[in-house]
Structures are given as structure tokens and as C-alpha cells.
Amino acid sequence: TPVAAVLPAGGSGERLGGATPKQFCAVQGRPLVSYTVRAMERISWIADIIVVVSPENIEIMKSIVERYGHKRVTIVKGGITRHRSIFNGLKVFAENKFSNHLLQKPEVVIIHDAVRPFVEEDILSKVVMAAKEHGAAGAIRPLVSTVIASAADGCLDHSLERARYRASEMPQAFLFDIIYEAYRQCTDYDLDYGTECLHLALKYCKTNAKLVEGTADLWKVTYKRDLYAAESIIKDNLS
């Protein structure tokens, strides 16, 4: 089965603070995004890897690809939200914009955040297999905190029963035609405020989405302290 991966890396990393978006921060001398790309490149059955970056970071990404020899990577210009960035990544296959690069339209596409470097073959093959069977699949984790909603006055409105809910993580995988059609049909509101690709696939393509339990190492590097955690995992793996 032809499988490709789209890695959104087009965010500004506001929550981390500092001038450099987290995906370009050096961890043990190497930019975070390069670890994530390497994790994908280690898997022989992933053909093309699309890295979506904001226009001002295209040159930085090009130099990373060059420096670390990421041969399967194609760099694509991102959008103002994560959904818009992912849509741009998918368009490359559908519209054959890079026909000179010989990008093959995949049967299954993996979507994985550039800021989750510790993704492994086990979870990737599980979500890909499940996507083939159900149309869509994604990694989940138990909730660490209870989710609550606040009312207009800033006081508690209601809370969700923690044991019944899961955090939606990455990677996710989709039959390409399903997720591309979902992005084509969805509204601007979805593209600007939505955070969940599985939701788009369900809402616009009426597919099933299989949920697959992932490991804690799939967490998203978000805050500065996450960079320290990532660094210590990488050091452990090296020693």
C-alpha cells in the first residue's frame, strides 16, 4: 500500500515563548523537527514525507533537510491554522503540484505533528492498518486532567467525567480520498477553529474512526519544560 506522511510544522510556538518556534529548537544540537522526520524515515514503507512550514521558515527547513540528508522530504507552505497547513500538505498529492518530484498519491496518509518526535513504528502501523479497515484512525491517551467548561461569568459551568473521555493525540491515519474530501467540503469555520482531523473525516465523510491506545511518549512538545524532557529522552536513547 502506498503510504505518505504529512507533518504540520507551520505553527508559531507561542506557548513555548522565545523567538524560535518549538519545532526548530535545537535539542542535543539538532532541531526537533529533524528527529520527527528521522523517525518517519526509519520506516521503509512510508514513501513521501511532506513537512508543512510557515512561509518565513521555508529557508530554515530547506537547510535542515540539506544538513541532515532528509531525502524523502518535500517542503510545503503552511496556512494560518493547523487545519489550513494540513490541507495545503494534502493538496500537493491531489493537485499534483509537485509533479516534477514524482509524488505518488498515497492510499493512506499519516498525519503527525512535527513536535512529537518519539513516534514509533508500532503505533504508526496500527493506525495505518486501522485506517485501511475503518477509513480513519488515531492515537489516544487517558486524560491527565479533568476537562471543564466555564460559564460566561468565569465560574464553573460543568465538568466531564474523566474516565469516559480520552485525549486525541497523533499519529492519525486516513484513506487519502476520505480526508482530502473532508478538507475540501469543510467550512472556513472548521478550518479556522477546528483542532481535530478525525472529527472532519467523521462529519464530512461519514467514515468510522478507530481509536488506538498510544504511549505517553507521543506527547506534544508544547512548553519550554517539554524541550528538557525531550532532551533527556534523546540522551537516554543515545547512551
Q: Distance (Å, rounded) from C-alpha 126 to C-alpha 113? A: 17
Q: Which is nearer to ligand C5P, 52 or 134 (CB)?
A: 52
Q: Which is nearer to ligand C5P, 24 or 134 (CB)?
A: 24
Q: Quote the least distance from Cβ 169 to ligand C5P, whole Å.
A: 11
Binding site for ligand C5P (CB under 6 A): 8-11, 23, 52, 78-82, 85, 113-115, 220, 222
Q: Quote the least distance from Cβ 68 to ligand C5P, whole Å.
A: 18
Q: Which is nearer to ligand C5P, 118 or 208 (CB)?
A: 118
Q: Distance (Å, rounded) from C-alpha 50 to C-alpha 81? A: 17
Q: Is the peptide bond before 117 cis (omega within 30 degrees of 0)?
A: no
Would strands 108-111 and 135-142 be described as parallel, antiparallel, or unpaired?
A: unpaired
Q: Quote the least distance from Cβ 108 to ligand C5P, whole Å.
A: 20
Q: Quote the least distance from Cβ 84 to ligand C5P, whole Å.
A: 6
181 three-class SS: helix
Question: What are the residue ranges of helices labelled H in the chain?
Answer: 32-41, 58-68, 82-94, 121-134, 176-185, 188-193, 197-205, 224-238
Cβ of 171: how many Cβ atoms within 10 Å? 25
Q: Which is nearer to ligand C5P, 8 or 138 (CB)?
A: 8
Q: Which is nearer to ligand C5P, 52 or 90 (CB)?
A: 52
Q: Quote the least distance from Cβ 33 to ligand C5P, whole Å.
A: 8
